[in-house]
Amino acid sequence: MPAEADITLPPPSYSSDVSLEETMLRIKSVRRYVNKALTLQQLSQLLWAAQGVKAPDNRRTAPSAGATYPLEIYTVIGNVEGIDAGIYKYEPYNHSLSKKQDGDFRQDLSAAALGQQSIMQAPFAIVIAAVFERTIGRYGQRGVMYVHMEAGHAAQNYCLQAVALGLGSVCIGAFDDGEVANVLKLPRNEKPLYIITAGIPAE
């Protein structure tokens, strides 16, 4: 049964020993992972990279047309130290997680993504969803394009951050929208756009 519980994430780091150029050189799609838990700090850093707040005026790490911020980030957790398996929603303004469902839903999410095994192997995956009305309300139908651009910005931030942490990731666009929405129990106005995994590369 869905439960609401806020989990404060560790503060993100704002520096790294890995240069941006090195992350761009090393980035690639990784679909096989070591069966090892990730840490809460790693999860925290990845979520902040995708949609974290970076300034007192609540600007985020990924650019947003008109600061309308249509994206919502969910994480389907199976194997992260210090946190129970479940589906959580990322709350960027206080850098926390809100639990939506208990249990390991990686298999369900994999089935909704045409059986892609990387979701099953990864300690967790995020789902980027969007409330299109936030941006369409300001820019009309052109806002649809802006939302998709923003999802790309967030995804690239996440994947580059994964490299800097010594992790691998893969972006997944092949899935049944309705089935993913059912697994996450998304509100009707939220549409899934992207699934992205993260884990320690097996190769």
**Within a domain: 58:** yes
**Within a domain: 13:** no
Q: Where residue 36 sits, what CATH number does that domain have?
A: 3.40.109.10
Report the C-alpha gap between 171 and 200 in whole angstroms: 15
- The domain tally of the chain equals 1
- A 10 A CB-CB count for 138 gives 14
**Within a domain: 188:** yes
**Within a domain: 24:** yes
Rounded (10°) angle between helices 40-51 and 142-164: 150
The whole-chain average pLDDT of the chain stands at 96
Structural domain boundaries, residue 40: 19-198
**Within a domain: 86:** yes
**Within a domain: 62:** yes
Give the pLDDT confidence score for residue 203 in this predicted structure: 76
**Within a domain: 7:** no
pTM over 0.85: yes
- Ranking 52-61, 153-162, 165-174 by mean pLDDT, the lowest is 52-61
